[in-house]
Amino acid sequence: MKPPCFYLLIILLVLPLLASPAGVWVPIKNVNDPHVKEIGEFAVAEYDKSSKADLKFVSVVKGETQVVAGTNYRLVLEAKDGAATKHYEAVVWEKPWQNLRNLTSFKNIN
């Protein structure tokens, strides 16, 4: 029979994995977090560069994260397109320990 501390150790190691398993989209609780806002601003700026658009970031409306080899952020953004305010869905992949970000997708969802 194994000692009780062995089972406690196993529980302590496995429990964090069950709370947020890799590959599962988890809602972002605070879309006003400065890092989340920074990811949203990055998405709009990258889209503007690649599409020759001139969107202006307004806010992050909602979002989710997914742990992969880094973190995917799937955000619903509000941005101004001229005088019109529109909603967009952006996916950004980030590896902060390598100072790496990549805009994976960006689409209008109005």
Q: For 91-102, what is each residue's pLDDT tens digit?
A: 999 999 999 999
In the chain, the amino acid numbered 89 is: E
Which residue, among 54, 52, 59, 96, has the nearest Cα to 75 in the 3D structure? 59
Can you give the pLDDT at residue 93?
A: 98
CATH number listed for the domain at residues 21-108: 3.10.450.10
Can you give the pLDDT at residue 36?
A: 98
What are the structural domain ranges in the chain?
21-108
How high is the mean pLDDT of the chain? 88
Three-state DSSP class for residue 71: strand
CA distances to 8, 28, 55, 56, 80 from 48, in Å: 51, 25, 6, 9, 12
